[in-house]
Amino acid sequence: MPMPVQIRFFASLREALGAHEQLQVPQGATLGEVRDRLIACSPRHAEALARTRTLRGAINQVMCDEASVVPEGAEVAFFPPVTGG
């Protein structure tokens, strides 16, 4: 059963892909699998989310590694390394 997840992008990813999108992923998908599904969406996604780029991800507003499982209805975010302070 596919489940919907809300995707958010920030900084350079937001400029390339927009701030929000919704995606259907299989139950039990990991953060890395969500990234792969996004990469398959369009050449623009493939470029912005390419595996050669260091990106970070969050599930429900907590930093997570790509092996983390995405729960149903989660808010998933991808963004470049952070540069605050």
Name the minimum Å distance from CB 1 to another protein. Answer: 28
Check if the beta carbon of residue 78 is closer than 8 Å to that of residue 54.
no
**Integer distance in angstroms from the first to the last C-alpha of the chain?**
42
Calpha distance 44→55 (Å, rounded)? 16
Calpha distance 31→68 (Å, rounded)? 6
Name the minimum Å distance from CB 82 to another protein. Answer: 6
Q: Which is nearer to another protein, 2 or 51 (CB)?
A: 51
Binding site for another protein (CB under 8 A): 8, 10-12, 14, 54, 56, 58, 61-63, 65-67, 77, 79-85
Tell me the β-bridge partners of 3.
25
Q: Which is nearer to another protein, 14 or 23 (CB)?
A: 14
Q: Which is nearer to another protein, 24 or 47 (CB)?
A: 47
